[in-house]
Amino acid sequence: MHPILAYRGRLGPYLAAWVPLGGLMAGLLVIAGSPWVEAAAIAFPMAMIYGFICLAAWYPCKTASPHHVPFARVVTTQVMAAAVSAMLWLFLVDTWVVLLEQIPVFAKATERFPRLVPVILAMGVVLYALAASLHYLLMAFEEARRAERSALELEVLAREAELRSLRAQIDPHFLFNALNSISSLTGSNPAAARQMCVELAEFMRESLRVGGVPNIPLAEELALTEKYLAVERARFGSRLQVEREVSAEAGSCGVPPLVLQPLVENAVRHGVANLVGGGVVRIAARRLGERLHLTVENQMDPEAAVRPGEGVGLANVRGRLAALYGQNASVEVRQDGGIFRVELAWPAVPASAQ
């Protein structure tokens, strides 16, 4: 669309810019021999009319874009457009002068008009060139905006694709571990295996429900994590203890769905499961200023071999937070004696799902 007419706030300033140009034209007409009153009566209305005529410069500018056609064609097209515009303007000025002559104060205006023709034609060409330059500038600005918008859209699409890929890793990874646990209980404790299947079905149902939203309240994420822990309690019983320390402000903040589950799963599988007497998984959340801080820590065997690199769950959480918040998110992993701790922090945002 036309870069000036398409926006309500641009036409007014554009026409206002023709007022001083009308004053310049009036001064040139005075130099050419017109009285001041006559020069002003010709210049100001004709300048505004020519402003509307020059709006048509958008069409040759669009046709002869320097980015798509040779420069010689651009010059030829604009010279022809300038000549046509100037001749049309001269005809309109001539008509206006004839009408003005009907007023006594402008008597003999047509007799002085031939001396004004060169000035009017020259100004017509110059003013058209200015209008064409303005249109090229606005077209470049709009093209830059479109390119920026397209880049942002592609960035958003790429981020969403990355998030979908990362979130898609959660279910198979969790299911693999859960099914292994059920398989191990089938022979030794069938009742616990059946209970684990029920809890697993409930957890999967809830995880599918929240999977289509960008974030959920932390309180809901904790409830979902509790359903996962119910699955694991069917296997570990009293060996698995959980402590929570969550502030009310933190509980209402939005978090990506299933952001805690991989961390809690790691705490159970690589911490509590390796301790003969079991252990404690501690979940803490607090809001400090404009940032949300989450901590998941677990007891572990201090003599256990350190696993190289990060597991799938931790890498998944790190990748999701990086895709969502970039450098505004942080993931810190610490191991101090018999305690393994993961600390997450990112900007506190309102929940989009309740």
CA 257 vs CA 28, 163, 164, 349: distances in Å: 72, 11, 12, 14
Sequence-distant contacts of 104-112: CB under 8 A, at least 24 apart: 105/37, 105/38, 106/37, 106/38, 106/41, 109/34, 109/38, 112/33, 112/34, 112/38
194/333 same-domain check:
yes
- Is pLDDT of 105 > 80? yes
97/213 same-domain check:
no
56/114 same-domain check:
yes
Q: Which residue range forms the structural domain that includes residue 269?
A: 189-347
Q: What is the pLDDT of residues 48-65, one digit of tens each?
A: 999 999 999 888 888 888
59 residue type, one letter = Y
pTM listed for this prediction? 0.52
Rounded to an integer, the average pLDDT of 104-115 is 87
212/293 same-domain check:
yes
- Is pLDDT of 345 > 60? yes
Specify if 159 maps to a domain.
Answer: no
- Is pLDDT of 252 > 60? yes
Closest CA to 171 of 294, 236, 265, 298: 265
314/252 same-domain check:
yes
For residues 224 and 210, the answer to whether their CB atoms sit within 8 Å is yes
**Which of 151, 180, 203 corresponds to the end of one domain?**
151
Specify if 292 maps to a domain.
Answer: yes
119/197 same-domain check:
no
* C-alpha span between 307 and 317 (Å, rounded): 18
Specify if 215 maps to a domain.
Answer: yes
147/230 same-domain check:
no
Specify if 279 maps to a domain.
Answer: yes
Q: What is the pLDDT of residues 131-173, one digit of tens each?
A: 999 888 888 888 888 888 877 776 665 565 555 554 555 556 5
Sign of torsion over alpha carbons 305, 309, 310, 312? negative
Residue with tokens 């309102």: 350
How many domains does the structure of the chain reveal?
A: 2
112/202 same-domain check:
no
DSSP letter for 275, please.
Answer: -
